[in-house]
Amino acid sequence: MSSAMQPFRYPHHDGSELYVSNSSPEVGEKITLKFRTPDDFPIDQAMLRIYHDGEPRYFPMKKSASANGESWWSVKAEVMNKKTSYRFLMLDGVTYRWLNGSGVHTYDVTSAQDFQLLATPANPSWIRSSVFYQIFPDRFATSEKYKSLMPKTFVAREWNDIPHGRDKSTGHEFFGGDLDGVRSNLSHLEDLGINGIYFTPYFPASSTHRYDASSFDHVDPLLGGDKAMIALAGAAKKAGIAMMGDLTTNHCGAGHPWIKKALTDKKSKERAFFYWDKSIKHGYEGWWGLASLPKLNFSSEKLQALLYSGKRSIVKKWLLPPFSMSGWRIDVGNMTGVYKGENLNAMVVQGIRDAMDETNPNAWLVAENADNFPADLDGFGWHGTMNYNGFMRPIWGWLQHNADVKFGFFGLPTAIPTFSGKDMATAMSAFNAGIPWRSLVSSMLLLDSHDTARFRNVVGHDVAHHIAGMGILLTYPGVPSIFAGDEVGLQGAWGEDARRTINWDDKDTWDTDFLAEVKKLIAIRRKSHALSDGGLQWVVTENNYVAYIRESKKEKLLVVVTRTSAQIDLGAILTKAKTLYGPITSGTKINFASAGVGIYKLS
């Protein structure tokens, strides 16, 4: 049992609409910046410290009238550069404190974690109210139409078999999922509340994971080819569902015509598309040394043109009719263009972004692994990242419960660590600090993916803990993505094991009670302005429970998540709260019988 708590104990600012009058201004435009503070927090005067042409400038701020136990400080300032860093100085007599992206500090700080504002066109607005669904094409659903095309190198599996994984069949197990199967089951996504699909690669390849493309120009015939994709695109549009693809800019497959031509003709233009090294058995650099994944060399302008900059480039083609993809997820985006002493990553990323902006400014660009280098998320290249480090990993550490996971913690050869609620919130806040707010809210949120164990296994098959995780996924800033089958309780102890099929013929195998709860949470996410456009303010971060507020100009929500049974007292903040999901409030308290999530409307 906890004692009553003061919800707002420190000054707060983030990049949402309550604090920044225009998050995508033009250079030369004046905008208003604000922070809020509890009335009992000692501040005599406050100043904005903002960079103008690389030099910090200071502007005095004005305090507004107090209300509800807190005050607002504000100032107008001109945006002088395309990227602007700023923080706030708060004075109390001879004591001063800084407020930056990592919180309040009583010592001098560097600019590494300053708040950041971009004077560039806004990121795609439609993603803010989207909930995506990740589909691994071979495993979602099958029409049975294309199974006869299976190459002899693949190993046929029955639809409801469990992937073997970790043997000679890994990467070649063929279940026969296809795009007609996806189209036939769009109603499941509509009923769930999904309005976006992220496909892992759909290009022809020598594997069923298809990250070793033998062509970037067509859809794999095993999936139904271009015809099936065009039909799916039309059906998805009618259903109000956007679709995005997955592109390997770092490498192609050993069966691709580029590498085949380069190997047979040393004078060909394709020869310059790769890195050659006589000390390597197969003669060229591959991703992780693999001959099956030749690494692309972007010092070749011809390769740049074919992949992204040319009029009929691969990046542009799939964004245009008749395919009309709404974005790209870029595989191992942090490794693209990086080789020994050469680093062309920024050039390639900017080139991809420019190509997308020219073709469809509303297309969403997401990187894999940019979260290992937060500086990659400066806002000029990727819109956001697959948020493993700043979201999934902290949640795994906090909510893991009798975990049934093999082959280590995701990305580390260790067991899943045990975090407190404070550890989780601190890790998430540290990731958020020092990147533009726009990069955070444009990042993909996920509890798991085709590369990880299923979250159901992370929480030891405990439904209450799974609901708690889904609650965070669907209320945190960013774009939620659910790995196909999670909503019905699919399991998997590691990446390949998690790539299981959905049993459409026997829905008694589904966790339908859990499915019903996921639908409720998605509905709240889709309808809530606070969850699409609001800021993030942590209220409580205890060992076993956390609470945070999502607030926009239209709405204010409180989210409470616990990993145990608990009676949580949040004081006066709950006196007028309306329960949207979870336990009903009792005065100033919430009683959780088990792990779970509660969502409460405060205004």
For residue 355, give the 3-state DSSP assignment: helix
**What's the residue count for the chain?**
603
What CA–CA distance (Å, rounded) separates 135 from 265? 38
- Identify which of 381, 296, 385, 294 has the alpha carbon closest to the alpha carbon of residue 338: 296
What CA–CA distance (Å, rounded) separates 458 from 208? 25
> Which neighbouring-strand residues pair with 385?
367
Q: What angle do CA 597, 602, 603 make, to 5 degrees?
A: 140
Tokens matching residue 493: 């102890």
- Identify which of 358, 403, 418 has the alpha carbon closest to the alpha carbon of residue 494: 403
Cβ 522 vs Cβ 131: under 8 Å: yes
Residue type, 38: P
Question: What interhelical angle do 512-527 and 463-473 show, nearest 10?
Answer: 20
Residue type, 136: F
Enumerate residue ranges in the chain where pLDDT < 70: 1-8, 370
Query: For residue 125, what is the DSSP state?
Result: S
| Predicted local confidence at residue 493, as pLDDT | 97
Residue 346 backbone phi and psi in degrees, to 5: -60, -40
Tokens matching residue 433: 């600090």
Tokens matching residue 111: 């600019």
Tokens matching residue 257: 């015509």
Cβ 333 vs Cβ 368: under 8 Å: yes
- Identify which of 147, 169, 171, 145 has the alpha carbon closest to the alpha carbon of residue 158: 147
Residue type, 353: R
What CA–CA distance (Å, rounded) separates 15 from 452? 31
Strands 479-483 and 364-367: what pairing? unpaired
List Cβ neighbours of 301 (8 Å cut-off, separation of 6 or more).
none
What CA–CA distance (Å, rounded) separates 187 from 80? 49
Cβ 15 vs Cβ 436: under 8 Å: yes
> Which neighbouring-strand residues pair with 117?
84
- Identify which of 63, 86, 88 has the alpha carbon closest to the alpha carbon of residue 73: 63
| Predicted local confidence at residue 65, as pLDDT | 74
What CA–CA distance (Å, rounded) separates 244 from 194? 13
Domains of the chain: 30-118 (2.60.40.10), 251-295 (no CATH), 534-601 (2.60.40.1180)
For residue 97, give the 3-state DSSP assignment: strand
| Predicted local confidence at residue 370, as pLDDT | 67
Global pTM? 0.96
What CA–CA distance (Å, rounded) separates 558 from 58? 34
Tokens matching residue 416: 């899943």
List Cβ neighbours of 439 (8 Å cut-off, separation of 6 or more).
377, 378, 379, 382, 383, 384, 385
What CA–CA distance (Å, rounded) separates 587 from 94? 41
Residue carrying structure tokens 């993030």: 536
Q: How many CB atoms neighbour CB 267 within 10 A?
A: 5
What CA–CA distance (Å, rounded) separates 422 from 21? 31
For residue 347, give the 3-state DSSP assignment: helix
Cβ 531 vs Cβ 550: under 8 Å: yes
Which ranges of 47-203 would DSSP assign to H, the alpha helix?
A: 179-184, 186-192
Q: How many CB atoms neighbour CB 419 within 10 A?
A: 20
